[in-house]
Amino acid sequence: MIDREIARTLLKEKAVFLRPQDPFTWTSGIKSPVYCDNRLLISTVAPREMIVDAFCAEIKKLNVDIISGTATAGIPWAAFVAQKLNLPMVYVRSSSKDHGRQNAIEGKATRGMKTVLMEDLISTGKSSIAAAAKLQEEGVEVVRIFSIFTYGFAEAAKVFSEAGFTFQSLTNFDILAQVAFDDQQLDKATLDQVLSWRKSVTFP
């Protein structure tokens, strides 16, 4: 299964790092046994190609005119995918420029186009939804939001549903934790611990 292969790759490349005995502290203050830095993957070759191929396989099932990326993490993935699919590309700023044309969207997307929005990670989903909303404000239909990895927080699913956007990730935290257990990187007690953490997280 491609989701397990990608999860194994994220672990191998340390793009997702499990440290249950010495938790990371996120900017929100949440103590987490996992840290994700998918930016590392743009410096790889074979893993990057596998991820791009997986994205392309899913996007080919949809009818889209253009590929969009979030600034900054989604930009390289949007570029890789757009090149592979021979489609145009734009990216969405987190905030509009305060000079020049004050663009929120860089590149050329015309009203009526259909797009997918590329992200590297979905956590709460709020930044992805904000970017998707900017595209929709310009008359570009966001068919789906894609990411490499998601923690699978219930809050994210709720936020996406309320905003009216659909998201899809190539792999997720539960699959990655199970792969880590299967590969003897986690014992059963620690697997249960990290899965319990994922289900119990609440955001401030």
> For residue range 172-185, what is the model confidence (pLDDT) as tens digits?
999 999 999 999 99
Q: Which uninterrupted H or E stretch holds 179?
A: helix 173-182
| pLDDT number for residue 101 | 52
In angstroms, the CA 71 to CA 76 distance is: 9
Weakest mean pLDDT among 13-17, 56-60, 93-97, 136-140: 93-97
**Dihedral sign computed on CA atoms, order 35, 37, 80, 52:** negative
User: Tokens 């014992």 map to which residue?
Assistant: 187
- Per-residue pLDDT band for 28 (boundaries 50, 70, 90) equals confident
Q: The domain spanning residue 19 has which CATH number? A: 3.40.50.2020
C-beta pairs of 40-44 under 8 Å, 24+ apart in sequence: 40/13, 40/14, 40/15, 41/10, 41/13, 41/15, 41/120, 41/148, 42/76, 44/13
According to DSSP, the β-strands at 31-32 and 24-25 are: antiparallel
In the prediction, which pLDDT does 102 show?
60
**Strand, helix or coil for residue 102:** coil
The number of distinct structural domains making up the chain is: 1
- Decide: helix, strand or coil at residue 121: strand
Mean pLDDT, residues 115-132? 94
Sorted by sequence, the CB contacts under 8 Å of residue 173 that are 6+ apart come out as 34, 149, 150, 151, 152, 194, 198
Task: Output the average pLDDT for the chain.
Answer: 93
Tell me, what's the pLDDT at 202? Answer: 82
In percent, the amount of the chain with pLDDT more than 70 equals 96
Query: Which structural domain range is residue 76 located in?
Result: 2-200
Q: Write down the pLDDT at residue 56.
A: 98
For the segment 127-147, the average pLDDT, to the nearest whole number, is 96
Asked whether 151 and 10 are in contact (CB, 8 A), the reply is no
Looking at residue 109, the DSSP 8-state letter turns out to be -
Is the whole model's pTM more than 0.75, yes or no? yes
CA–CA separation, 36 vs 14, rounded Å?
8
pLDDT class of 96 with cuts at 50, 70, 90: low
The Cα 52–Cα 42 span in angstroms is: 10
pLDDT at 98: 47
State residue 162 phi and psi, 5-degree precision: -65, -35
Residue 99: predicted pLDDT? 46
